[in-house]
Amino acid sequence: MQGGRLFSVAVCAVVVAAGAMAAGCSDIGIDEGTGPAASGLSGGGTTAATVPATTLPLTQTPEYVASNTPCPAGLPELGAIELREALPEHAVGLAPYIDLPEATVMVFDGAVGDAPDASVGEPGVGGSGGGFVGDRRGRIWRFEPNLAGHVGRGVGAVTSSEPIADFSSNTAAEHDQGLVGMTLGPNGRLWINRTDRHGSSMLTVLTPTADRMALQGSYADVLEVPQTNAQHNGGDLLFDADGLLYVSFGDGGGLGDPRHHGQNLATPLGAVLRFSVDTGDSSDPDDWRLVPAPGNPDLGPGSDPHIWAYGARNPYRMSLDEPTGTLWVSDVGQQCMEEVTALGLDEGGANLGWNSYEGSRRFVGDELADHRAPDFEYRHGRGLCAVIGGHVYRGSQLDWLTGRYVFADLCGGDIYAVSVQPGAQPDEVWSLGISTPRPVGFAEDRHGELYVIDIETGVWRLTG
């Protein structure tokens, strides 16, 4: 497997004091590391602004102090009630779907093995179609519904005997690194976001064969974003109905965002980017470029024109709810709060607030006149530490969940559902009575049914 020509963004260096782990700090990865002290960004001909070096001793910086200060009283609790109490006539189960430890990403394409007239009510029955599943180390398998009851890896689906793509020799997998994002793009191509062995985030395009069981030719790296260290490298990527590509990146790590990437409009870190894919009328991804999407906000001189929204700490997961035209961003918090924001696709330029705010709570620095507060948030504690989004349910097997956002928390492993209307307080949160050991993401099949991806055990299907 050979890589194509890389379209990269320019980078400037920023030197800062190294970070250290603090009690109570939440992350998708195992812990907070120190990592190299460099990063920044420019794109589309702009030049990155540098952030002044930290001169205070680490333990005296506002970010370090705020990251080690006990959470104040009165912060919103998750306050979930058991589903059996809210709706005693309904229940949710989990059916094993793919046995794949280290699984991190999954996408359905419905191109092969789909049985649109078959029942999707039971695991192992057709209707959800095939797709691709990947693990943290950068290996990707094809899977198909287990219509014939085959044994082997998977119960509801069967994977290819060998990976159809293997980036493990060029993928770092420490802390928040690894294969962290996957989506299908125009013409059925597979797009992935991974961290290469040098610690840079790479967007890569792969072309499956007509039968979707292998790759055709080489792959193409189309974007590189250098990272400051191994934390907050997330993460997700997806296409909207107009073919525009959304990609999220965390702030690059360090306690409390010591490099101030969240509010630095010259770096892709701590932001959601939106691209248009310039193919130049070529079918070869080697010839493609990612350019700022039409309608991206003008955020001022020196700002990166790819930025669509900013002020994020670790927006590890995103999803698009097409019926309402909202982009759901789940942002993992630092010291006290987890947050979910449902952004209308007309909200380009939204400032999610980090690191001036953690959720709706003030963190460090100046107040912001343009802070876009989260639509849903909850505090840490009681087994809660890192929000894992999440899709708005649009399936039929659990139709009483329709319109509710289904999500999980990494630490407790429990799966929840909440009704969120942008600009209004959410109603009660339901604990669905199901959990996995370490959930890291969700997937949605073409019928709107949901699957939870667990890095310890593999993929599970939500059932009625």
190 falls within a domain: yes
What CATH number corresponds to the domain at position 270? Answer: 2.120.10.30
| 3-class DSSP assignment, residue 241 | coil
Residue 117 scores a pLDDT above 70:
no
Output the pLDDT for position 441: 98
Output the pLDDT for position 55: 62
Output the pLDDT for position 426: 80
Q: Is 86 exposed, middle or buried (0-12, 13-18, 19+ CB in 10 A)?
A: middle
Q: Are 159 and 142 in contact (CB under 8 A)?
A: yes
The 3-state secondary structure of 130-148 reads: CEEEEECCCEEEEEEECCC
Output the pLDDT for position 146: 81
144 falls within a domain: yes
CA distances 155 to 113, 135, 244, 412, Å, are 15, 18, 35, 25
Residue 2 scores a pLDDT above 60:
no
404 falls within a domain: no
Cα distance between residue 429 and residue 406, in whole Å? 10
The per-residue DSSP string of 355-381 comes to: TTEETTEE-SS---TTB---SEEEESB
Output the pLDDT for position 421: 80
Q: What is the DSSP letter of 325?
A: T
- Over the stretch 127-142, which tens digit does the pLDDT of each residue have? 458 999 999 999 999 9
Output the pLDDT for position 317: 98
- Over the stretch 310-355, which tens digit does the pLDDT of each residue have? 999 999 999 999 999 999 999 999 999 999 999 999 999 999 999 9
452 falls within a domain: no
Mean pLDDT of the chain: 85
326 falls within a domain: yes
Number of domains, the chain? 1
Considering the chain, what percentage of its residues have pLDDT values greater than 90?
75
Extract the tokens encoding 417: 């559902």
Output the pLDDT for position 59: 77
Average pLDDT over every residue of 372-389: 94
Output the pLDDT for position 133: 98
204 falls within a domain: yes
| 3-class DSSP assignment, residue 208 | strand
CB atoms within 10 A of CB 463: 20
Output the pLDDT for position 148: 59
- Over the stretch 138-190, which tens digit does the pLDDT of each residue have? 999 999 988 755 544 446 898 999 999 999 999 999 999 999 999 999 889 99
Average pLDDT over every residue of 86-104: 96
The per-residue DSSP string of 341-352 comes to: EEEETT-TTEE-
- Over the stretch 235-287, which tens digit does the pLDDT of each residue have? 899 999 999 999 999 999 999 999 999 999 999 999 999 999 999 999 999 99
- 42-46, 111-115, 394-398 — which is least confidently predicted? 42-46
- Name the residue with higher pLDDT: 52 or 47: 52
Residue 45 scores a pLDDT above 60:
no
Cα distance between residue 364 and residue 267, in whole Å? 20
317 falls within a domain: yes
Radius of gyration of the chain from its Cα atoms, rounded to whole angstroms = 21
What residues contact 424, with CB distance under 8 A and at least 6 apart?
A: none
- Domain range spanning residue 170? 58-74+122-378
Residue 119 scores a pLDDT above 70:
no
| Among candidate residues 237, 232, 290, the one with its CA nearest the CA of residue 261 | 232
Residue 423 pLDDT level (bands cut at 50, 70, 90): low
214 falls within a domain: yes
